Amino acid sequence: MTASTLSSEQTDIVVIGSGIGGLSCAALLARYGFDVIVCESHSIPGGAAHAFERNGFKFDSGPSLYSGLSYKPSANPLRHVLDAIGEELPCVTYDTWGCCLPEGDFDTSVGADQFCEILMRFRGDDAVAEWRSLQRVMAPLAQAAIAIPPAALRFDAGAALTLSRFALSSLRHTANISKLTGPFSRIMDGVVKDPFIRNWLNLLCFLLSGLPADGTSTAEVAFMFADWYRPGVMLDYPIGGSGTLVDTLVRGLERYGGKLMLGAHVEQILVEGDRAVGVRLRGGKVVKTRKYVVSNISVWDTLKLLPSVPKQLRSRSCTPECDSFMHLHLGIEAQGIRSDLACHYIIVNDWEKGVTAPQNVVLVSIPSVLDPSLAPPGKHVIHVYTPGNEPYDLWQGMDRRSQEYAQQKSLRAEVMWQALQRIIPDIRKRCDVTLVGTPLTHERYLRRHRGSYGPAIRAGVGLFPSPRTPIPGLLCCGDSTFPGIGLPAVAASGMMTANTIAPIHKHLQMLNL
């Protein structure tokens, strides 16, 4: 449904943006019985997780690494959302990905033990002993991190009731829960001295939060240990790609009577008598709300929609931001290609530069290895990107039609080509489709402030804010709110925001599902 097909109308709740956080929130609100409209600026839902197609190749625009979706019980809040709305997400499972690091190339797996084999190969017995010590230290922290499911959280007095059923089970984790808010470096520094393990942990932290270990919360790493480094664990990939995940959430929204409006660009959040009462769309159409406006867009973009910014919100405009991305989307000829391709690869060029250095870390996703339906027969689809380490300032003010822009695209994409050549040496000869994305692409198609990955709020220095704002009737969800960046985090944020709006008796019923 497009905005042009609707006249001005009323609803209980309008959600701005159809990212995973917004769709999770909206689908749950519809499940709770509210009238919900999601306003999406683009013609495709999904935000940073949307999918698109070119010449028969289906590309993921954003996240490509999933876990905790194919089994129950799961620690992944996104699985909790899907369970609550009664939707299934078919996935293919795997456990191994490739690494191209300064020390050498190798495959590694999730699970409790395989990484020790890698450490023995590259670093020896002492490194293995340190990793085992870290696993012992992280075990109780991992249990503390998942002791209270995000599905139980809400940001009002009703939380006392929804959390009470987990009080006894979480009581034994009380001493460790307080350790989760500080930076993971405090834990790491007390256990790990081996430089390879420290580099590895800083890399994982960067992929989780956009920051190294001294800026990533212990809770995020503990959640990862609970999810990845345990016996028998598998990774997931949604059959059909990230677009299937988005479609599943949209299906859940619409199943309970919610509406998704595409091409519905919100120009302003309407405020009357200091209360948010709706939104005005490009073209003048108005959607008024009886209860709430929920913004799923970034903190900086949300502030731009307000007619005036209350004093209590002005400090949020100074929220530090992670850098942006370079993207390389390729559709390639697969004939004669190596038979042992992994779905994912992590490439690090130089540990000494640090994991956050521009163009030092490159990620490669080849999901057609797992799901051939993403590419035409005999082909592969590839997504290469520099994850939140491309400075926006290099691109700011450039004319996307200029020769200067074209030259810089070619220059800055080279690191991705070189990374991919370590896996597929003749990659440049195989391409049927070649698409290069820049921070300006990221900014334009995702409506993201400066094309940013999201807020760079350092653990121990600040906390991601709650969904509540100083403006009555305006709530937020997504990567600018607690618990922060990443697909599980934004799904949790959407769930918490929906729960905060829901009557307590309906929230308690949902917890019984």
Write down the residue that tokens 């995000």 correspond to.
150
pLDDT of residue 312: 80
pLDDT of residue 5: 46
Condensed to tens digits (0 to 9), the pLDDT of residues 130-186 reads 999 999 999 999 989 888 888 999 999 999 999 998 888 788 888 888 888 889 999
What does DSSP assign to residue 402?
Answer: S
Condensed to tens digits (0 to 9), the pLDDT of residues 373-427 reads 999 999 999 999 999 999 999 999 999 999 999 999 999 999 999 999 999 999 9
Condensed to tens digits (0 to 9), the pLDDT of residues 322-356 reads 999 999 999 999 999 998 999 999 999 999 999 99
Q: Can you say how many angstroms the Cα of residue 317 is from the centroid of all Cα atoms in its chain?
A: 21
Partnered with residue 361 across adjacent β-strands are: 348
**Structure-token pair, residue 125:** 């017995």
Q: Is 362 helix (H, G, I), strand (E, B) or coil?
A: strand
Q: Percentage of residues in the chain with pLDDT exceeding 90?
A: 81
Radius of gyration of the chain (CA): 22
Q: What is the mean pLDDT of the chain?
A: 93
Confidence band of 113 (pLDDT split at 50, 70, 90): confident
Average pLDDT over residues 431-435: 97
Domain ranges of the chain: 3-49+78-83+239-319+461-511, 112-230, 324-451
| Whether the Cβ atoms of residue 395 and residue 17 lie closer than 8 Å to each other | no
Tell me how crowded residue 299 is: count the other CB atoms within 10 A of its CB: 24
pLDDT of residue 424: 97
| Whether the Cβ atoms of residue 215 and residue 209 lie closer than 8 Å to each other | yes
pLDDT above 60 (res 2): no
pLDDT of residue 4: 46
CA distance linking residue 324 with residue 454, whole number of Å: 9
**Structure-token pair, residue 52:** 């698109």
CA distance linking residue 122 with residue 104, whole number of Å: 9
What does DSSP assign to residue 48?
Answer: G
Amino acid identity at 59: F
Q: DSSP characters for 237-296?
A: EETT-HHHHHHHHHHHHHHTT-EEEBT--EEEEEEETTEEEEEEETTS-EEEEEEEEEE-
Confidence band of 9 (pLDDT split at 50, 70, 90): very high
**Structure-token pair, residue 121:** 């190969």
Write down the residue that tokens 């595409």 correspond to.
262
Q: Which CATH superfamily is domain 3-49+78-83+239-319+461-511 in?
A: FAD/NAD(P)-binding domain (3.50.50.60)
pLDDT of residue 75: 87
279 phi/psi in degrees, rounded to 5: -140, 155
Which segments of 102-147 are extended strands (E)?
A: 104-109
Condensed to tens digits (0 to 9), the pLDDT of residues 25-50 reads 999 999 999 999 999 999 999 999 99
Q: Indicate the helix (H) or strand (E) that contains 331.
A: strand 324-333
Alpha helix ranges (H) inside 365-448: 403-421, 439-446
| Whether the Cβ atoms of residue 424 and residue 366 lie closer than 8 Å to each other | no
Count of alpha carbons within 13 angstroms of residue 466, beta-carbon side: 11
Tell me how crowded residue 493 is: count the other CB atoms within 10 A of its CB: 31
Condensed to tens digits (0 to 9), the pLDDT of residues 307-326 reads 998 888 888 888 999 999 99
pLDDT above 70 (res 432): yes
Condensed to tens digits (0 to 9), the pLDDT of residues 255-310 reads 999 999 999 999 999 999 999 999 999 999 999 999 999 999 999 999 999 999 88
Q: Percentage of residues in the chain with pLDDT exceeding 70?
A: 99
CA distance linking residue 30 with residue 119, whole number of Å: 49
pTM (two decimals): 0.94
Peptide bond preceding 472: is omega within 30 degrees of 0, i.e. cis? Answer: no
pLDDT above 60 (res 80): yes
Q: Which residues of 39-65 are buried (b: 16+ CB within 10 A; e: fewer)?
A: bbbbebbbbbbbbeeeeebbbbbbbbb
**Structure-token pair, residue 333:** 């000829």
| Whether the Cβ atoms of residue 209 and residue 217 lie closer than 8 Å to each other | yes
CA distance linking residue 369 with residue 454, whole number of Å: 30
CA distance linking residue 364 with residue 254, whole number of Å: 34
Handedness of CA 417, 421, 423, 424 (dihedral sign): positive
Q: Is 92 helix (H, G, I), strand (E, B) or coil?
A: strand
Number of H helices and number of E strands within the chain? 17, 19
Condensed to tens digits (0 to 9), the pLDDT of residues 186-244 reads 999 999 999 999 999 999 999 989 999 999 999 999 988 888 877 788 999 999 999 99
CA 323 vs CA 203, 213, 302, 365: distances in Å: 16, 17, 19, 20
